[in-house]
């Protein structure tokens, strides 16, 4: 789920550094000088160059990653259940019921439900709906449709988030190319995640992949940090420039979810419900979403 929000400037220089022989802030029990002092100093060196860096509070420790993975098990199970049952003639409200039942049955809470007034447990966006489609008994899937199902889960205080595309019946080659391009763009983003480079480098790779596939990328809506909250800093753009946006460091968790349009990138929000986003030109849109954590080598996909 990708609600647009601004990334506030973050200042690592305001971090209170422990004494070198004090216990490290990460809770490892080791002395700071042998644990995270070099890590903190490296972050500070980037900030002194004018690069936006994550606050310490955004970084997830080992136990936090394990908690997110437990939440993700539920999120993945919900999408797997949809994958098994989704078909022509099904309503999007039926999809929502599947997600709700699986999520709650495994002890989780559907994070979208009630979030800023959102009325359902997942988002179901069909064809020209870019995102935030509201499940309804009036929306019946028909042959030729493409649909994005976006699930988010809270479990024991940890949040997970991912979405998948589904092709219903006889889908046109043009729509199939769109869905494949969107998935490839997401994978290109995963492959581009490396520690100690900026989110803008990843976003630029995603954008170029989509454009090479003959598509465009939505500018106003993107990914986000996640883990302790449903939506955390920063806003993650997929039309960004290399060397810009927040620095990626180990322990940083965010979503990769470019919204790829068959036509141009212009969008609008439904005036009636205030949620559903559509392409301005009425052409289809596709999106895949994963949640990743930055590691020492690249990233690990937590939810898909």
Supply the CATH number for residue 186's domain. Answer: 3.90.230.10
- Closest listed residue to residue 137, CA positions, set 92, 89, 88: 92
For the cut 50, the answer to whether the pLDDT of residue 8 exceeds it is: no
Whole-angstrom Cα distance, residue 169 to residue 122? 22
Q: Domain count of the chain? A: 1
Rounded CA-CA distance 110/138 in Å is: 22
Q: Which of 45-49, 277-281, 291-295 is least confident?
A: 45-49
Residue 105 within any structural domain of the chain:
yes
Q: Is residue 273 part of a domain?
A: yes
The residue assigned the tokens 């003959």 is: 214
pLDDT digits 0-9 by tens, 186-215: 999 999 999 999 999 999 999 999 999 999
Residue 10 has pLDDT above 90, yes or no: no
Average pLDDT, integer, range 128-141:
98
Q: With 0-12 CB in 10 A as exposed, 13-18 as middle and 19+ as buried, what is 273?
A: middle
- Do 159 and 153 form a contact (C-beta atoms < 8 A)? yes
Domain that holds residue 52: 40-303
Question: Whole-number mean pLDDT of the chain?
Answer: 94
Q: Say what the pLDDT of residue 15 is.
A: 60
Domain assignment present for residue 24? The answer is no
Asked whether residue 154 is domain-assigned, the answer is: yes
Alpha-helix residue ranges (DSSP H) falling in the chain: 37-48, 62-85, 92-105, 173-192, 199-212
Residue 201, helix vs strand vs coil: helix
Answer yes or no: is 48 within a domain. yes
102-120 mean pLDDT: 98
Share of the chain above pLDDT 70, in %: 95
Query: Tokens for 12?
Result: 């690592």
Least confident of 39-48, 136-145, 161-170, 225-234: 39-48
Q: Is residue 9 part of a domain?
A: no
SS3 at position 293: strand
Residues 6+ apart with CB under 8 A from 272: none
Does residue 72 carry a pLDDT above 80?
yes
Q: How far apart are CA 82 and CA 95, in angstroms?
A: 6
127 located within any domain:
yes
């Amino acid at each position: 789920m990708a609600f647009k929000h601004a990334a506030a400037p973050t200042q690592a220089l305001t971090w209170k550094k422990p004494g070198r022989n004090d216990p490290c802030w990460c809770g490892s029990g080791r002395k700071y000088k042998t644990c995270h002092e070099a890590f903190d100093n490296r972050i500070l060196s980037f900030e002194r160059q004018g690069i936006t860096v994550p606050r310490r509070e955004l970084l997830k420790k080992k136990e936090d990653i394990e908690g997110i993975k437990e939440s993700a098990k539920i999120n993945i199970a919900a999408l797997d259940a949809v994958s098994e049952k989704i078909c022509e003639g099904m309503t999007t409200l039926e999809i929502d019921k599947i997600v709700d039942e699986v999520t709650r049955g495994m002890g989780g809470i559907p994070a979208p439900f009630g979030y800023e007034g959102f009325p359902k447990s997942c988002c179901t966006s069909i064809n020209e709906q870019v995102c935030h489609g509201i499940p309804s008994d009036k929306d019946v899937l028909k042959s030729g449709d493409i649909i994005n199902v976006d699930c988010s889960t809270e479990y024991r205080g940890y949040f997970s988030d991912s979405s998948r595309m589904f092709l219903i019946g006889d889908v046109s080659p043009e729509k199939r190319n769109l869905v494949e391009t969107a998935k490839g763009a997401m994978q290109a983003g995963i492959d581009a995640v490396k520690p100690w480079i900026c989110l803008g480098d990843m976003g630029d790779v995603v954008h170029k992949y989509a454009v090479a596939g003959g598509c465009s990328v939505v500018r106003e809506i993107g990914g986000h940090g996640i883990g302790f909250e449903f939506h955390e800093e920063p806003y993650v753009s997929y039309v960004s420039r290399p060397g810009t946006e927040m620095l990626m460091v180990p322990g940083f968790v965010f979503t990769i979810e470019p919204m790829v349009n068959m036509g141009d990138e212009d969008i609008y929000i439904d005036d009636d419900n205030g949620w559903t986003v559509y392409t301005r030109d009425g052409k289809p849109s596709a999106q895949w979403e994963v949640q990743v954590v930055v590691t020492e080598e690249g990233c690990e996909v937590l939810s898909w």
